[in-house]
Amino acid sequence: MKKILLIGLLAAACRLGATVAAEPRTLLVEVRDIPAAAQGDKGRFAFNDYNRDKLLTLVRHTAMMLATRAEFAALQHDGFHATLVMESPDLLTLYKRGLYGPTSALPACYHRYDQIVARADQLAREHPERIARVQIGETTQFHRPIYAYRISSDARRPQDKPGVLLDACHHSDEIMGAEIVFTLLEKLVLDYGRDPEVTAWVDRCEIYLVPVVNVDGHDIVTSGRDPRWRKNARDVNGDGVTGVFPEGVDVNRGYDFNWAMGGTDQPDSDRYRGEHPFSEAENRAMRRLLELKPFVLSLSYHSQGEVIYYPWSWNGQPAPDDVLIREIAGEVAGHIPTMDGHGTYAISPGGPSSQSYPWLYGRKGDFDFIVETGMGAHIFAAEDRAGIIAANLGGVRALLARTAGPGLAVHVVDAATNRPLAAQVWLPRIENETVDRRSTEATFGHYWRLLRPGKYELIISCPGYRTAVLHNVAVAAGDWTPLEVRLQPEAPVAARP
C-alpha cells in the first residue's frame, strides 16, 4: 500500500509540473547517510549559504531540509533515509526547529550579547591591568553599544606594541565566531602568568577582541526570534516595524574598498550593501577602532565552509603581499582540524570588494583573514560547539606566533625634537597602486610590517620633512628588525623681498 501511495504521488508530481514547483514547503525532513556523490556543488544536496529555501543544514552526511509532500515522497522513493520531523504552514516555525535543533530554541551553551558583556566586565573588575573595555560605537537601529576589549600586559592605557584584532558576527546568524572570540578572551585573561605561551602573546602584543560586531542582529538570533537573520536590524523600508525578515543591511558588504563591486543594491537580498559605504553604524564602529589602533594581523570569524579567505584575487592578479599572506593563511588553516577529522581547513583568495578583509588590507595594511568555521550549518548543535572552538583556537595560536616576526619595526621621529611622527612608509618594490600607502601611527611613531627575511627598499615621507630613501634594508629571520628613522625638517622657504 505504501509503495502504491508513493508511486501515485510521483505520478501526480509529473502531471502537475509547474504547479508542484509552486507548492509551499510545509514539511521539515531529516535525511541521514547521504552519499558523498549526492553532495558537493552539483549534487542533489548542494549546500548554499545564501539560499536556504530548501536545504537548511548538511552536517556529517545528515541534512535538514524543507520539502513538499511530493519532494518527500521522491526522496523516499529514491532510497534516501528521509524522516518527517514536523509539518507546519508557518515557515518560521520550521526554520526554528530546523536551525535551532530539537527544542526550537537556541542551545543554552551559546551566549547572548549581554552575557558576554557581563562576563567581560567581571574580568575587567578582577583584572583591570589585563583587560579594558572600549566602546567603539553603537548599533544602527537600537543604538546598543558595540564593545572592543583591549588585552595587554597593561590594558589600562594604550601600548606601543604590535596590534592584533579578532572579531566575529558581522553576520548575525554566524554565532560560532562570537563563542570562539569570547572563549579566547577568557583564556588570555585567566591564563596570563600561568601559561607561558599566553603570557608571551600578551606581553608582546596589544590584542583587541570584538566578540560581536552586529549586536542587533545577533540578538535577533540568540533571543530565539529568528535563526535565519543575517543582516543588521535596520528598518530599511522605514515603516517603523523592525525584525521582519529579510530586512536589514549586510554589514560585511558596507566597507569602502571597491564598495560598488560588492554585494547588491537590492534591499531584500541577503547581500544588501546599504545606501553608501559606511552607511551602517556597525561599519563605522570598526572604522573607529582602526583609528584607535593599527593592526598587523587579524581574523574575522564567519560560518561556514572550513576555509580561510585571504586578500585577494583581483582581475586574476594576487595582492601585493600574496606570497607572505598565503604563507600565513596556510599556517593558520593547517592548525584547524575539520569537523570530520580527516584534514585541516583550506585556504582561498577572496574578492577585492566591500568586505572587511580587503578593506583592512587595502586601506589599512592589516593582513586580515576571514575564517569560515565549521561545515554545513551556521548554528551548530550543542555537541559540536566545544570541538569547533578548540579547533579554531589552534588557528589563533598559529596567528599569534606570527606576531614575533620576522618583519620591520619602523620608528619615525623628528630629528630635531625626537617627537614621534605620523609618516608614510612605502615599500615600492612590493606595494602597488591597488593598496593605500601605509603609515606609522601618530602617538608612538611606530609601524610594524611583516616581511620575509631579505633586503628591502623603503621611502619614508612626512609633510614638512625631507623624504628618506633607504636601500638594502636587511630583515633578519626570527624576531622583529628595528629600524630607527630620523626625518630632517625641511628648511623654511625664504620670503621674497
310/356 Cα distance (integer angstroms): 11
Q: Which of 368, 403, 438 is the last residue of a domain?
A: 403
Instruction: State whether 425 and 279 are in the same domain.
Output: no
Residue 492 forms part of a structural domain = no
In this predicted structure, the answer to whether residue 20 has a pLDDT above a threshold of 50 is no
According to the model, what pLDDT value does residue 4 have?
A: 42
Instruction: State whether 387 and 476 are in the same domain.
Output: no
Instruction: State whether 152 and 229 are in the same domain.
Output: yes
Residue 108 forms part of a structural domain = no
pLDDT tens sequence across 304-318: 999 999 999 999 999
Residue 48 forms part of a structural domain = yes
Q: Which of 39, 70, 98 is the last residue of a domain?
A: 98
Instruction: State whether 325 and 300 are in the same domain.
Output: yes
Instruction: State whether 263 and 137 are in the same domain.
Output: yes
Q: Which of 98, 132, 163 is the last residue of a domain?
A: 98
In this predicted structure, the answer to whether residue 18 has a pLDDT above a threshold of 70 is no
Instruction: State whether 397 and 423 are in the same domain.
Output: no
**Percent over 70 (pLDDT), the chain:** 95
Q: Which of 346, 486, 338 is closest to 413 using CA atoms?
A: 486
The strand pairing partners of 90, in sequence order, are: none
Check: CB of residue 144 under 8 Å from CB of residue 222.
no
pLDDT tens sequence across 106-144: 999 999 999 999 999 999 999 999 999 999 999 999 999
Residue 494 forms part of a structural domain = no
Q: Peptide bond before 482: cis, by omega within 30 degrees of 0?
A: no
According to the model, what pLDDT value does residue 10 have?
A: 46
Q: How many residues does the chain have?
A: 497
The strand pairing partners of 475, in sequence order, are: 454
According to the model, what pLDDT value does residue 12 have?
A: 46
Q: What is the mean pLDDT of the chain?
A: 94
Residue 372 forms part of a structural domain = yes
Residue 497 forms part of a structural domain = no
The boundaries of the domain holding residue 471 are 407-487
Residue 493 forms part of a structural domain = no
According to the model, what pLDDT value does residue 49 have?
A: 81
Instruction: State whether 78 and 142 are in the same domain.
Output: no
Query: What is the CATH number for 435?
Result: 2.60.40.1120
438/365 Cα distance (integer angstroms): 6
Instruction: State whether 446 and 381 are in the same domain.
Output: no
pLDDT tens sequence across 333-343: 999 999 999 99
- Look at the chain and report how many structural domains it folds into: 3
Residue 103 forms part of a structural domain = no
For the stretch 462-492, what's the b/e string if a residue is b when 16 or more beta carbons lie within 10 angstroms of its beta carbon? beebeebeeeebebeeeebbebebebeeeee
In this predicted structure, the answer to whether residue 1 has a pLDDT above a threshold of 60 is no
In this predicted structure, the answer to whether residue 6 has a pLDDT above a threshold of 60 is no
